[in-house]
Amino acid sequence: MGNKNKTISFRVNEDSFETLREIAEERDISLSAVFRDYVDTLVAHDGRVKVVPESEIGEETDGEAFPPKVEVPKSFVREHERLELEAEHLREQLQEYKQYASHLKRQVEAADDAEEVVQLEELDDELDTDETYRIG
């Protein structure tokens, strides 16, 4: 199914609007791009986003550091790395199999052009006698 865009409306007071417009001008992007970035960040962080001044980034706010930091066990990281390596290996194998299948297809096409295939049923039909032959 296709990725369809949806429209989101924001209501802000006039002062906030002017501030957002200034931010957009500083970054040399459109105002709608500022909102798209905000929504993308909101979705990526499962709705846990705080808007803080740049001077406060990394400082303690409300007893929590922002952006939030999560401890991940080493076993999880190792397993993730192992799975990434395995996925890369499987992609390489898939590419090799695709190349091999293409090679076999070219061989079959070349063989079709080079020699004629004789079907055994056709040979039986061509026999004038009722004799049958047995091999072995």
- Residue 17 within any structural domain of the chain: yes
**103 lies in a domain?**
yes
Which residues, in sequence order, are bridge partners of residue 64? 61
What pLDDT, in 10s, does the model give residues 63-77?
A: 666 666 778 888 988
Q: Same domain for 78 and 111?
A: yes
Q: Compute the 3-state secondary structure of the chain and give helix, strand, coil in percent, each to the nearest 5.
A: 60, 5, 40
pLDDT at 1 over 60: no
Kindly report whether the global pTM for this prediction surpasses the value 0.85: no
85 lies in some domain: yes
Displacement of CA 45 from its chain's centroid (Å): 19
Which residue would you say has higher pLDDT here, 43 or 126?
43
Say if residue 1 is exposed, middle or buried (CB neighbours under 10 Å; 0-12, 13-18, 19+).
exposed
The mean pLDDT of the chain is 79
For residue 80, what pLDDT is reported? Answer: 92
Residue 58 lies in a domain: no
How much is the pLDDT for 94? 96
Q: Tell me whether residue 96 is in a domain.
A: yes
Tell me, what's the pLDDT at 116? 67
Q: Is residue 135 part of a domain?
A: no
Establish if 3 belongs to a structural domain: no
Domain range for 44 = 11-50
Higher pLDDT, 90 or 12: 90
Q: How confident is the model at residue 124 (pLDDT cuts 50, 70, 90)?
A: low
The verdict on residue 4 lying in a domain is no
When divided into structural domains, the chain yields a total of 2
Over residues 14-41, the mean pLDDT reads 84
pLDDT of residue 127: 67
**Which of 10, 88, 83 lies closest to 51 in space, CA to CA?**
10
